[in-house]
Chain A
Amino acid sequence: AQSVTQLDSHVSVSEGTPVLLRCNYSSSYSPSLFWYVQHPNKGLQLLLKYTSAATLVKGINGFEAEFKKSETSFHLTKPSAHMSDAAEYFCVVSETGGFKTIFGAGTRLFVKA
């Protein structure tokens, strides 16, 4: 069985400070992991993905995530937050080679000026 838990429903940071959005997962299979971002009234945009290659994954807009199998985590980070980063972020786990895809409940990121 698969599940994904986003540990924070809301995160607030000041502009220019680091961002950390936490995600833990469980999977009976070799997982593929994704982070998506959703701005208000928009669809979801892929930020980055882990598909069993390098464990440190770099994405768009300066975001990166590290796959840690021993901790079953896939936390999203960014060194310096920008106002435009304010959005909803979803962690997603998918069964590699299968069909099942599970979305986390989302973390809303607030960025203060």
Chain B
Amino acid sequence: EADIYQTPRYLVIGTGKKITLECSQTMGHDKMYWYQQDPGMELHLIHYSYGVNSTEKGDLSSESTVSRIRTEHFPLTLESARPSHTSQYLCASSEGRHNEQFFGPGTRLTVL
């Protein structure tokens, strides 16, 4: 079954730790996205990718980085986590001219 996965679903870590949030999709989509969402708030695009070896920063400035070495995989890394990074991170992918996006379940990150 075609789907999009995110791990971990929940993560609590201390300040200064390096973390990687995983996102994988089995739909063969070229476009992938990372959004940041605070509880009850709107989504903010932080990174996107048109395809392998393509990554761009989104509308919201973020200290995170991403990579796209394989079509199905789009991990997000924080080199040194801070409490201001506490949020929910949503990964999505899309294909076709209408950009219908398919979302993963999200990772809720808490930095102490």
Contact = CB atoms under 8 A, between A and B. Distances in A.
A42 B4 CA distance: 13
Interface of B: 6, 31, 40-43, 45, 48, 50, 90, 92, 97-106, 108
A72 interface: no
Given A42-B106, A43-B104, A101 B42 contact: no
Which range holds the interface residue count of chain A? Answer: 20 to 34
Nearest to B108: A41
Main secondary structure, interface of B, reads strand
Given A42-B105, A43-B105, A99 B99 contact: yes
Main secondary structure, interface of A, reads strand
A94 B98 contact: yes
A32 B97 CA distance: 9
